[in-house]
């Protein structure tokens, strides 16, 4: 069964762009490669939020 990644929220991409701007290494990438990295960062933010919600919900059940 494939795992469906959590949806990115409106604020995830701008936050990912802020993070990426702090990485000087991205200046060496092509714009499309840099965009791929930014989207991966945004996906990580969305996954972190999803896991945080799961942990919070689990602690409420106990």
Q: H/E/C letters for each residue in 19-44?
A: HHHCCHHHHHCCHHHHHHHHHHHHHH
Spatial contact of 43 and 5, defined as CB atoms under 8 Å apart: yes
pTM of the model: 0.70
Residues 46 and 4: their CA atoms lie apart, in Å, by 12
Name the residue with higher pLDDT: 36 or 54: 36
pLDDT tens digits, one per residue of 50-61:
888 788 877 777
pLDDT tens digits, one per residue of 4-22:
667 777 788 899 888 888 8
Residues 50 and 61: their CA atoms lie apart, in Å, by 17
């Amino acid at each position: 069964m494939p795992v469906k990644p959590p949806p990115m929220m409106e604020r995830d991409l701008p936050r990912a762009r802020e993070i990426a701007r702090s990485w000087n290494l991205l200046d060496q990438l092509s714009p499309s490669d840099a965009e791929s990295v930014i989207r991966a960062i945004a996906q990580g933010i969305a996954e972190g939020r999803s896991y945080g919600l799961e942990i919070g919900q689990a602690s409420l059940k106990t």
